[in-house]
Amino acid sequence: MLKTTLTGLRAHLLRLMLTALAITLGVGFVAGTFVLTDTMKAGFDRQFTASAEKVSVAVLPDDDDKKVPDSVLRAVRAVPGVRDAQGLVRGDAALIGKNGRVYGEVPTLGMSITTGSLARYPITKGRAPNGPAEAVLDTGVAGHTGYHVGDTIRVLDKKGATHSFTVTGLVDVGVDQEVGFRGAVGFTEPVARQMTGERGYVEVDVKGAAGVPDDRLRTAVAAAAGSSYTTLTSHGLAKRMAAESSLDVDSITTFFFAFALVALFVAALVIYNTFNILIAQRTREMALLRCVGATRGQVFRSVLLESAVVGLLASVLGAVVGIGLGYGAAVVFNSGTGTPGGPLAVSATPFLVGIPLGLAVTVLSALMPARTATRVPPVAALRAQAEGRVRGRAGIVRIIIGALFGAAGTGMAVLALTAKPGQGPFLLMVVAGALIFLAVVALSPLIVQALSGLVGGLPARFFGVPGRLALANSRRNPKRAAVTTIALTVGVTLMTMFSVALASTRSTADAHLREQYPVDYRLSAQSGQDDRPVPGAVVTRLRAAPEFSAVIEARRATAHVNGKEVGVGSVTQRYLGQGLKPKVSAGSLADLRPGTVVLNDERAKAFGARVGGTVPVRTGRGTANLRVVAIVTGESLLSGILLDETDFTRSFGPKDPEQVYLIAKKGVSTKVSRAVVDDALKDYPAVRMSSAADLKDQLSKSLDQLFLLVAALLALAIIISLIGIANTLTLSVVERNRESALLRALGLTRRGLRRMLSLEALIISLIGALVGVVLGIAFGWAAISAAIDDAVLGLPIGRIVLFLLLAAVAGVVAAIMPGRRAARTSIVESLAAE
């Protein structure tokens, strides 16, 4: 029986090649995920080691808010065995970009650049700073701002004064988390102290003399530094840097592995369908085996052996292919995120996980077809082969199973959508979506039968006999067509779901932005620079500009309520309820006057306050019991506690606004209004300008990048599903040789035969894509509704139509090779075959 199985396997090798390709791609995705993460981990380890290996011992404060003073540095330098010790200075030093505004949402980091044996960061271009008018930029900031070696840059010191420097070089900060987020400008140590205003060090690096072990040196340095500081060897410093890294490689592994499992699931559907067709085509062969003495168990094991051989060979190849996929993904990922790259790192995991997983998926997918093979009676060897049809009993079982899954999924979805949006309802909706999809899988033969007439109606009408034959063929075996379409449905469902979810996120964000920030521009200092308000001269100039209908000042201060320090504020009150329209849940904003206060809902809940009640607000000028006149909901331009302008000025004195909001007059173009703002700010580089358009653009870019990543990952699953369509058609061509020959004998041309198969593939692809689009829209909208409060549906019509067109084109392309094979088959030989 073993020889018979292996002989049969060789005989049907070509028929199994597309199946092997599907499992190869699926396993390749799994193996590639592990290769990607192994390579990334190795790259990080190399970077951490390279950054720390120049240091024998590092001294760090126990508290991030503390610094290492000069006295400790002097004590460390006096330790026997210390060859050199240098302190690292870090603090705010805002770089001014070429547009005349400060760069970034937060100030760039001003840092001292160490040279010599303790040079932590390599200079990739130029040289280190060597004087009071020289500086270096980290490579990330240089790329974003467009500055090069030799350019003159301007930097704000701690007091806001502007200083000019010549860029002498570019520095690679490696995996330094803080610098990577903020960007950095490097100076000599004295200049770094002057620019940042820092008097201590964030770290003291020590280089030991030759022959002095790091552990012994660390003990001596720790004794000199004192118990208030942490001392680490080079190895300990590398481990600390790795622990502080913001990139969670394990989470990346989980993310990619989820898509790999999707690809394997689609591959499993392709395998199941392939073996189903092969068993149907080999009915007489199985019956003859039974006639010559083969038992049901032997037939069952022979089919599983075929699947095991195919699965093993394809999985081994997939693991090898995964090495290339993983390394290619690592190169792309590193270039896109700035994470460290390096040589390829391959562990045993891709092989130990990928090969058994691929083998298991293949064998499990062949179980049902193998069981079907055991039901072939020996008498079947005496009659002609016929395609299996869906029996009513199986249809009833499918309907019952589908109804149960559908009812359970619908019930969970209702619970998720009626609960308060959040993580719990979202996870419940994920489970509901999975159950509903299983219901669709169970009922897929009925769905295919219902949709084939709708989708195939136009081809049948406009393409004559080939179109009508294609429609009939697509409806001939609903089970087979259903499995083929479901493979494509998986990819299209996920693609559409992510598209709808991202479009809805964008629409919801736009709606919230219009509601919470109904302004055109916002002027403010960089984050964390609250001591730098918008100058009054800027406000005066903008108030005089005819291009703006409203110039709204927002001031902030600190007060105490019920013994707790809280933030309070005021806004230009005549625009409250007009230019500024927060959502009011109780009371009226028009009642805000001296002696009253407006609270947001969170503050009102914390204070136990309601409209008509009072809140004791204590400032430097005493405590006032202010009456609550309104409560607003959600985030807005307003503070949690909004005072009347007169009360605010009386309590905290006149002060420039921390933020200014501008509303352009109707008819004034964005180009004109932005030019007016730029002109007003030309002498104040520390003031940042942002606009609703800028925020929307940033959000759109982020969502588009996320979609491209998801689309690239799901593309493999869709490719595997198209392999399934091509495989089904190829095997169907073999199965329908006599039928094709008879059609040719009755006058159907080779071109007509190819067109028939192309239209059949088109119908199957469109059915799968249509079901996927419907499910994707429903799942995407439901998931966003369960996760986000007041979600707004975003329907990317253009992208959805593109999915349908791509599915149609891909289906036709998948039919090219099967069509050519059918057209080349000899009519006489096919009719003569039994």
Q: How far apart are CA 576 and CA 636, in angstroms?
A: 12
The tokens for 275 are 């073996």
The three-point CA angle 296-297-298 to 5° equals: 90
- Cα–Cα distance for residue pair 769/718, rounded to 1 Å: 10
pLDDT tens track for 527-547: 766 667 888 899 999 999 999
Give the Cα separation of 695 and 701 in Å (integer).
Answer: 10
**pLDDT of 19 higher than 80:** no
Contact 725, 761 (CB under 8 A): yes
Q: Which of 677, 679, 705, 680 is nearest to 691 (CA)?
A: 677
Q: Which residue has the tokens 């205003």?
A: 197
Percent of the chain whose pLDDT exceeds 90: 20
Distance CA 502, CA 667 (A): 32
Average pLDDT over residues 298-315: 84
- Mean pLDDT value of segment 475-488: 77
Would you place residue 717 in the very low, low, confident or very high pLDDT band (cuts 50, 70, 90)?
confident
109 beta partners? 92, 184
Whole-number pLDDT of residue 385: 47
With beta carbons less than 8 A apart as the criterion, state whether 260 and 30 touch: yes
Give the integer Cα–Cα distance in Å for 172 and 340: 11
pLDDT at residue 391 above 50?
no
60 within 8 A of 357, measured Cβ to Cβ? no
pLDDT at 73: 92
pLDDT in tens, 121-176: 889 999 999 999 999 999 889 988 999 999 999 999 988 899 999 999 999 887 67
Question: What would the pLDDT profile of 402-434 be if each residue is shown by its tens digit?
Answer: 899 999 999 999 998 888 888 888 889 889 988
**CA-based angle 381:370:310, to the nearest 5?**
110
Model confidence pLDDT, tens digit, residues 624-673: 899 999 998 865 556 678 999 999 998 888 888 988 989 889 888 888 99
Would you say 631 and 610 are in contact if contact means Cβ atoms under 8 Å apart?
yes
The two tokens of residue 627 are 């009456």
Phi, psi of 233 (to 5 degrees): -80, 175
Quote the CA–CA distance of 46 and 56 in Å, as a whole number: 17
Rounded Cα distance between 669 and 666, Å, is: 8
- Residues forming beta bridges with residue 600, ordered by sequence position: 632
pTM of the model as a whole: 0.70
Question: How is residue 294 written in tokens?
Answer: 């083969």
Cα–Cα distances (Å) from 445 to 449, 450, 485, 642, 728, in that order, read 6, 9, 10, 62, 16
Pick the more confident residue, 579 or 247.
Answer: 579
- In this prediction, residue 80 carries a pLDDT of 93
For the chain, how many residues are written?
834
Show Cβ contacts of residue 292 under 8 Å, excluding neighbours closer than 6 positions. none
Contacts of 337 (CB under 8 A, 6+ apart): 247
Give the Cα separation of 306 and 320 in Å (integer): 22
Which two three-digit tokens encode residue 247? 């990139």
Rounded to the nearest angstrom, the gap between the alpha carbon of residue 101 and the centroid of all alpha carbons in its chain is 31
Residue 304 has pLDDT above 90, yes or no: no
Using DSSP's 3-state secondary structure scheme, residue 126 falls into strand
Q: Does position 277 have pLDDT exceeding 90, yes or no?
A: no
Q: Evaluate if residue 102 carries a pLDDT over 50.
A: yes
Q: Which of these, 637, 564, 557, 632, lies nearest to 599 by C-alpha position?
A: 632
Residue 814 pLDDT: 78
Q: Report residue 733's pLDDT band, with 50, 70 and 90 as the boundaries.
A: low
- Alpha-carbon span 377 to 558, nearest angstrom: 87
232-to-173, 208, 223, 263, 808 alpha-carbon distances in Å? 20, 13, 13, 46, 62
d(CA 126, CA 728): 61
pLDDT band at residue 13, thresholds of 50, 70 and 90?
low
CA distance 719 to 28: 13
CB atoms within 10 A of CB 374: 17
Residues 734-760: tens digit of each pLDDT:
666 667 777 777 778 888 888 888 888
Query: Cα separations (Å) of 413 from 245, 403, 436, 494, 692?
Result: 38, 15, 9, 18, 35
The mean per-residue pLDDT over the stretch 287-307 comes to 77
Distance CA 134, CA 460 (A): 76
The residue ranking higher by pLDDT, 17 or 625, is 625
Give the model's pLDDT for residue 154.
94
In three-state secondary structure terms, 669 is: coil
Instruction: Kindly compute the dihedral angle of the four CA atoms of residues 264, 281, 749, 476, in this order, to the nearest 10 degrees.
Output: -70
Tokens of 140: 């990330």
Q: Are strands 184-187 and 109-112 parallel, antiparallel or unpaired?
A: parallel
pLDDT over 80 at 286, yes or no: no
- Cβ pair 3, 293 in contact under 8 A: no
| Six token digits for residue 808 | 């149609």
- Work out the average pLDDT over 688-715: 77
Q: What is the pLDDT of residue 248?
A: 59
Q: State the chain's maximal CA–CA distance in angstroms.
A: 107
Q: Residue 834 pLDDT > 60, yes or no?
A: no
pLDDT exceeds 60 at position 55: yes
Q: Which residue is it, tokens 């503070």?
A: 639
Task: Grade residue 283 by pLDDT with cuts at 50, 70 and 90.
Answer: low
DSSP track, 376-440: --GGGGGS--------HHHHHHHHHHHHHHHHHHHHHHHHHHHSPSSHHHHHHHHHHHHHHHHHH
Asked whether 274 and 18 are in contact (CB, 8 A), the reply is yes
**Has residue 770 got a pLDDT over 60?**
yes
Low-confidence winner among 495-499, 504-508, 767-771 (lowest mean pLDDT)? 504-508
CA angle 292, 297, 300 (to 5 degrees): 95
Q: Name residue, tokens 């690809």.
A: 263
Burial class (CB in 10 A: 0-12, 13-18, 19+), 15: middle
pLDDT of residue 244: 65
In this predicted model, what pLDDT tens digit does every residue of 781-827 receive, in sequence order? 998 888 887 788 888 898 899 888 888 888 888 778 777 777 777 66
- At CB < 8 A and 24+ separation, what contacts does 585-589 make? 585/631, 585/632, 585/633, 586/610, 586/611, 586/630, 586/631, 587/611, 587/628, 587/629, 587/630, 587/631, 588/629, 588/630, 589/629, 589/630, 589/632
Identify the pLDDT of residue 628: 93
- Contact assessment for residue 468 and residue 446, using Cβ atoms and an 8 Å cutoff: no
Write down the pLDDT at residue 390: 39
> Is residue 66 classed as helix, strand or coil in its secondary structure?
coil
Confidence at residue 50, expressed as pLDDT on a 0 to 100 scale: 62
pLDDT, position 32: 85
**Arithmetic mean of pLDDT, 175-193:** 85
Query: pLDDT exceeding 70 applies to what percent of the chain?
Result: 87
Among candidates 653, 771, 276, which has minimal Cα distance to 480?
276
Averaged confidence pLDDT in the chain = 82
pLDDT in tens, 599-628: 988 888 888 889 999 999 998 788 889 999
Cα–Cα distance for residue pair 761/812, rounded to 1 Å: 6
Residue 676 confidence class, pLDDT cut points 50, 70, 90? very high
**Residue-level pLDDT at 165:** 96
* DSSP secondary structure code for residue 132 in this structure: T
User: Which phi and psi (to 5°) does residue 251 adopt?
Assistant: -65, -40
159 and 690 in contact (C-beta within 8 Å)?
Answer: no
Confidence of residue 476 (pLDDT cuts 50, 70, 90): confident
Beta-bridge mates of residue 801: none
Q: State how far the Cα of 472 lies from the Cα of 467, in Å rounded to an integer.
A: 9
Supply the pLDDT for residue 109. Answer: 92
| Under 8 Å between Cβ of 676 and 545 | yes
CB of 287 closer than 8 Å to CB of 377: yes
